[in-house]
Amino acid sequence: MFQLNPKTMKPLKLLCMFFPWVAFSLLTSCNPENLELINPNTLTPEAYFKSQLQVQRAVNAIYAELQTRGLYQRNLFFAMDNMSYEQLMNSEAEVDKLQYSHYSFDATHITIGEYWKNCYQGINRANFVISNEDIINQLPENELSQTMKKKFIGEARFLRALYYFLLVTRFGDVPLITSINNAGVTGFPRVPKAEIWSQIEKDLEIASAQCLSKSIEEKGRATSGAAWALLGKAHLFQANESSSQSDYTAAKNAFLQVLGDNENYRLEDRYLNNFEEETEHGIESIFEVEFQPELGTTDQWSADDGSGYNENTFRGMEYGVNDWFNVYPIQNMVDEFETVADNGIKTDPRKGYCIYSTGDLYDHNTRTITINDIEYYHWDTDPPWIERITRYGWRKYQNYYKRPHENSASGINTKVIRLSDVYLMMAEVENELDNKDEAITYLNDVRNRADVMMPNYGTQAMDTVYPVSNKEQIRIAIEHERKVELCNEQVRFDDLVRWRRLAAFVINDIKPFLPEYNKLNNCFDANKHYLWPIPQAEIDQNTAISQADQNYGY
């Protein structure tokens, strides 16, 4: 089988001059016989797009970039969870991961560079399919139906929008590339982020009309519901910056397409169904990144180009309290969950669903977890002293419910968007549109999940801790609810950025209470850390981007 050589990787300025590598994303929905890789040097659109199988293979290749080291296989969850201070890292963890916690990364940061590269490789693969729509449409109906032609293009559009969403939210202005016909081009300049958002909207509007609905699509593929949900999220991000009622209304209209589809989308009665392998693609799932170790993991340590066999995420082992235990939930996160002492009625069961504490059961409820405190010795004072930190462990996305230890090949899919996220974004939209009662209803819908059933906002019990009589109070309640419902799902950092709350949270709520080691190493700068640096490798090799184009402070 032909294997792609990572050493042949091209910088962005060259990557878009060639046809992308048509490798297969090892999706759950694909047959093993269709998992061979194709030599890209032999490909031309005219010769390649001759059958449904070939079109599907080209689309599958776009998904493969989501499974790379720079994105959902390893980097993305560390970056988002560390920067949002939902967790701390043990001091012996890898330096590049610690730099997210310390905000000490710069333009040479390896995994930020991989994040950028993997997004643009995904975009290039999407462009390969979208740019050849006319050739695909020429296939006879008996080879590929019009419905299938449209849905494959819709998937490519959705994925291109998702990759650009990942870029614009982290870097701001970025190069916009929508074609593969770039012979002779030696670089692409950054364009204003408004142009990126416009392209995201265009792609998602097409995807929402052309992708299939969840009820008839293969599991793991983009659906019309996923396109609507991501479109609503894109409008909401822009509304947070513009404060425009029209942007909030556009977000609402997109979200309603999902919330009105009760056939395909409802909240799970059991919260943890969203995070266990046997219950993936459930009624609450809108879009998730696939991992299925039985299809192959031999390339798991070289997953930087979306080729080979990389059907696993390292998340279970990295976060696992019984294994590498590289991170642990910060006390601020643990304390966010309500207790009887707060509302007078009930402790939030989501704390136990999301976080392990000493004494909790695991491995089919046959063993008891013990989590040791961590100690830092401070010898630079007189007298020396010991700082003791109580640690917890993440339960969400861990395999300990069914076994005593993780292995490096976790097959639990990563949820990118699920329905409770949409409910809470809709609560935010309604609040900003001055629809107070509707906002409170959406908040309470999430709290009324069958195995959560927390006291509702607007009741006497909740008025003592989270009153909701005006817009600002509802904003605080929304932040609280999103923090506990969606913790460890890589959404809080984006929330803090789009609300312009990141600086206040880090400086006022977190930094004074950090362990001394973390406090001394924290380099957060409110003027620069809302964005990541453009990777230095891109500046060095893209003739249309210079050091003068770098984000502020880097």
Strands (E), 294-434: 327-329, 355-356, 361-362, 367-368, 374-378, 385-389, 393-394, 414-418
Residue of 20 and 141 predicted with greater confidence: 141
Does any domain span residue 108?
yes
Longest dimension (CA), the chain: 82
Whether the bond between 192 and the residue before it is cis, its omega within 30 degrees of 0, is no
Is it the case that residue 38 has pLDDT exceeding 70?
no
CA angle, 468 as apex, 466 and 471 as ends, to 5°?
125
Q: How far is CA 152 from CA 16, 159, 224, in A?
A: 21, 11, 12
Is it the case that residue 28 has pLDDT exceeding 80?
no
Burial 477-510 (b: 16+ CB within 10 A, else e): bbbbbbbbbbbbbbbbbbbbbbeeebbebbeeeb
Does any domain span residue 481?
no
Is it the case that residue 451 has pLDDT exceeding 80?
yes
- CB 207 within 8 Å of CB 157: yes
- pLDDT digits 0-9 by tens, 318-363: 999 999 999 999 999 999 999 999 999 999 999 999 999 999 999 9
Does any domain span residue 269?
yes
Does any domain span residue 296?
yes
Is it the case that residue 449 has pLDDT exceeding 50?
yes
Does any domain span residue 499?
no
Does any domain span residue 82?
yes
Overall number of domains in the chain: 1
| Position 46 confidence tier, pLDDT thresholds 50, 70, 90 | low
CATH classification at residue 534: 1.25.40.390
Q: What is the mean pLDDT of residues 163-188?
A: 92
Does any domain span residue 445?
no
Does any domain span residue 345?
no
Exposed/middle/buried for 201, CB within 10 Å: 0-12, 13-18, 19+? middle
pLDDT confidence of residue 409: 84
- Residues above pLDDT 90, as percent of the chain: 81
Alpha-carbon distance of 440 to 456, in angstroms, equals: 9
> How much is the pTM?
0.91
- Residues above pLDDT 70, as percent of the chain: 91
Domain range for 308: 12-29+39-318+527-549
- pLDDT digits 0-9 by tens, 236-290: 999 999 999 999 999 999 999 999 999 999 999 999 999 999 999 999 999 999 9
Is it the case that residue 422 has pLDDT exceeding 60?
yes
Residue of 37 and 93 predicted with greater confidence: 93
Amino acid letter, residue 433: L
| Position 32 confidence tier, pLDDT thresholds 50, 70, 90 | very low
